[in-house]
Amino acid sequence: MSTIIVGVDGSDRSADALSFAARLARSARGSLVLASAYPYDDGVARLDTELRHRLREAAERSLDRMRRQVPPGIPVTTRTIADRSPARALHALAVHEHASLVVLGSSHRGTAGRVVVGTTAERLLHGAPCPVAVVPRGASPGSLDTVVAGWDARPESAAALDAATAVAQASGARLRVVQVLDATWLSQPERAAWPGLIADPRTHERSARDRLEQVVAGLPPAVRAEALIVHDEPARALAAQSEDADLLVLGSRGYGPHRAVLLGSVSSRAVRASACPVIVVARGVSAPLEDLFRPSMLARAMPRAALGSAGP
């Protein structure tokens, strides 16, 4: 059975993250691990066992409260971890549990529905060994009806689309595949080195639309999918798409050691501005969330031309 880790700290954002994770676990028939890191360093020279005990008890009480909110029928366990860095603790747990997904709530310090830079969520996104979901504070706990996948023909967006397709298949959601054409695209000198550069913006749009429609046509027949071309700055456009979506799925710009997620500027800004939960998928994952949801078979269904080079 696949595992979803939920970072818990006893705040409202933990409840938001748990609600979203429970929805995914129910669709995927997965299990939940509720994890809480308490600020204690076992490596210090002089151990304060009384302080450690108090901190651990507080973390366990928080986990017990969250555990009681898990809907019946979803397997759930809890973990307390002594670590001053919640992001480091969750990373280690994800590796140990071979987790399919880590789910976190956005910071309570931000406005409702927005992620705060510098939070555990942001730090974990830059080093997670698996996809990471960030749930905005106050996000609706309703059903998954609309999933949006960002697409730009790069390999990382193909990984994101594969994950979004798997979620849509499992939940019965409608899938919207969005490609953003930036108005400044032709003004960037480095774009001149792109293979197959099309100088005429109208021709470029027709080519992009044809390719995107090919991609959508190649998705499994059971998926209710649509293709959408948007003209705007990419991060702003993706954030706008999140306003009427239940989930936004994005690919990372690259990956580091052990397929760690390294956010590009577009993904990073879109995560901060999204009004709905966001799943970020690391580039290089051949079948993201494959053990959480049924494989979407995108790699076999997609025309090879759709996966051609589109940039550096």
User: End-to-end distance of the chain based on CA atoms, in angstroms?
Assistant: 37
In this prediction, residue 193 carries a pLDDT of 43
Q: Give me the pLDDT at residue 58, please.
A: 94
- Decide: 105 and 135 in contact? Cβ < 8 Å: yes
Give the H/E segment covering residue 174: strand 174-181
pLDDT tens column, 269-300: 888 889 899 999 876 555 567 677 754 333 33
Residues 5-27 have a mean pLDDT of 89
In tens, the pLDDT along 80-133 reads 999 988 988 999 999 899 899 999 988 644 454 455 544 677 777 776 788 899
| Each residue's pLDDT tens digit, 55-76 | 999 999 999 999 999 999 999 9
Name all domains of the chain by residue range, CATH numbers in brackets.
3-135 (3.40.50.620), 146-252+264-307 (3.40.50.620)
pLDDT at 187 over 60: no
- At 199, the pLDDT band (50, 70, 90 cuts) reads low
In which band, very low, low, confident or very high, does the pLDDT at 189 lie, cut at 50, 70 and 90?
Answer: very low
Q: Minimal CA–CA distance to 306: which of 152, 182, 180?
A: 152
pLDDT for the residue 300: 35
Q: What is the DSSP letter of 71?
A: P
Mean pLDDT of the chain: 80
Q: Which of 67-71, 168-172, 239-243 has the lowest mean pLDDT?
A: 168-172
- pLDDT-based confidence at residue 267 (cuts at 50, 70, 90): confident
Letter for the amino acid at 46? R
Q: What is the DSSP string of 227-251?
A: EEEEES-HHHHHHHHGGG-SEEEEE
Query: Which residues does 22 contact at the CB level (< 8 Å), separation at least 6?
Result: 32, 70, 71, 74
Neighbours of 290 (CB within 10 A): 16
In this prediction, residue 190 carries a pLDDT of 40
Could you tell me which residues are beta bridge partners of residue 281? 251
